[in-house]
Structure 1
């Protein structure tokens, strides 16, 4: 059995393992794969009575309740976590191979008759980062005290692993034509179809990430929204999106450079402050207008949804 002190010090992640694990951000499993490794138990209280059987039973009950509570609302699909005596690296590999996006590890340490610690770590395998590392102190060593500790652990895990999605208003993609054959009449009907396809693609990518819920912008009646000119309104999209109940707003622009060259840009603002949170540009891409949606999709994934966290 691995020493609990190793778990209590936290799980050491290896980028070479995590960098190749997990699913793509635009195609996550639904519900999200979650592996919960069996917690360890360590007793250094020095009590004379042998309580190994009692603690083993309480630990089994604790783990059963934790897995049940994490799976209760259907957001997670529980998958095997691998051998309980495996190394941290082996646990990560096993969880990733089983289809887990997240791995939970931990342990319980009985310090004295009245004081116990519960340590829990949650790892986002795909993003290569720890999303929760917490030490909970609880008093008592009976069924009720263990049940209370499990309630706190499951609550914190639910909040950390799958926080409430950001309400994002994605306005219709806009068009700028800087090509030599630019028309003064704006986008053609065919180009508007491709812009609509691009908007739809980007909305689907954000929705599938699980980190965002898409706010309906059909009710936006501001002239800049209706004429697809939000890019020139000095951040008015934030106020419009706030009025629709969104937390953030996104304005995307396809700029045609020539008949086969274009760039894609998207900008995200906080609707309360108007602050620009993300501003990304694809650089020059090659392809006809039917490739705009692919270019926008790749930009969103590369620069935001699949971007490695620091």
Structure 2
């Protein structure tokens, strides 16, 4: 018995066969992307400046640079690290209460967990002098506090560009030199 298909049915069947691998790849990569996006609480960068009296806020120029660091870190970790940054708003009061976070002895893990994040990302600049600072960034598991990645860079300058460069360098050469655990 011989089956006959009309030319239009044959074209439709061939088109469906041609699209099947592309659809399978697209749906598979969407599932992988969804599975791979780990949530991270990326906390605002802070400064340890021994020239400031206890409780005083950083100078406006340094505060602006800390915001540059936070924004740059968030952008790079989302775009290049495949992380999903969670909104810190619901825990703003707790963050304010525990600040400075680099001295809080593990308080970032519970805060990150409360926000639904798997990872806690902290950054602080340790200013030694006006023209010298060290930027330290730590990525830790929210559940255990185990450090997943850590990096430090010393910069001997003090402009917005220098601080932005420090963030780019530390992300590229320390934090994401290898894929983050749990990512391929």
TM-score range, shorter chain: 0.7 to 0.9
Q: Which has the higher strand share?
A: 1
Correspondence for 1:295: 166
Measure, in 1, the Cα distance between the counterparts of 2:72 and 2:148.
Answer: 21
User: 5+ residue gaps in structure 1?
Assistant: 1-59, 73-154
Correspondence for 2:52: 183
Correspondence for 1:286: 156
Aligned to 1:274, the other structure's residue is in SS state: coil
Measure, in 2, the Cα distance between the counterparts of 1:188 and 1:228.
Answer: 17
State the Cα distance separating 1:222 from its structure 2 match. Answer: 4.5
**Counterparts in 2 of 1:210 and 1:303: CA distance versus 1, 3 Å:** closer
Measure, in 2, the Cα distance between the counterparts of 1:297 and 1:227.
Answer: 27
**Counterparts in 2 of 1:71 and 1:200: CA distance versus 1, 3 Å:** same
**Counterparts in 2 of 1:263 and 1:218: CA distance versus 1, 3 Å:** same
Correspondence for 2:140: 269
Correspondence for 2:46: 174
1:145-173 CA-partner distances (Å, limit 9, x unpaired): xxxxxxxxxx4x66557743010110110
Measure, in 1, the Cα distance between the counterparts of 2:73 and 2:147.
Answer: 19
Residues 91-106 of structure 1 aligned to structure 2 (within 5 Å): none
Please say if 1:255 is aligned against 2:126: yes
Q: Which has the higher helix share?
A: 2
- The answer to whether the Cα contact below 8 Å between 2:94 and 2:111 also exists between their aligned partners in 1 is no
Measure, in 2, the Cα distance between the counterparts of 1:70 and 1:194.
Answer: 42
Correspondence for 2:182: none
Among 48, 71, 77, which residue is 2:26 paired with?
Answer: 71
Residues 131-150 of structure 1 aligned to structure 2 (within 5 Å): none
Measure, in 1, the Cα distance between the counterparts of 2:81 and 2:22.
Answer: 21
Aligned to 1:235, the other structure's residue is in SS state: coil
Aligned to 1:268, the other structure's residue is in SS state: strand
Aligned to 1:216, the other structure's residue is in SS state: coil
Point out the more displaced range, 210-219 or 232-241. Answer: 210-219
- The answer to whether the Cα contact below 8 Å between 2:121 and 2:139 also exists between their aligned partners in 1 is yes
Q: Relative contact order: is structure 1 or structure 2 higher (C-alpha 8 Å, sep ≥ 6)?
A: 2
Measure, in 1, the Cα distance between the counterparts of 2:137 and 2:17.
Answer: 46
- The answer to whether the Cα contact below 8 Å between 2:49 and 2:126 also exists between their aligned partners in 1 is yes
**Counterparts in 2 of 1:63 and 1:253: CA distance versus 1, 3 Å:** farther
1:101-137 CA-partner distances (Å, limit 9, x unpaired): xxxxxxxxxxxxxxxxxxxxxxxxxxxxxxxxxxxxx
TM-align CA RMSD:
2.6
Question: What TM-score do the two structures reach when normalised by structure 1?
Answer: 0.47
Measure, in 2, the Cα distance between the counterparts of 1:308 and 1:242.
Answer: 25
Measure, in 2, the Cα distance between the counterparts of 1:295 and 1:228.
Answer: 23
Residues 78-97 of structure 1 aligned to structure 2 (within 5 Å): none
Aligned to 1:219, the other structure's residue is in SS state: helix
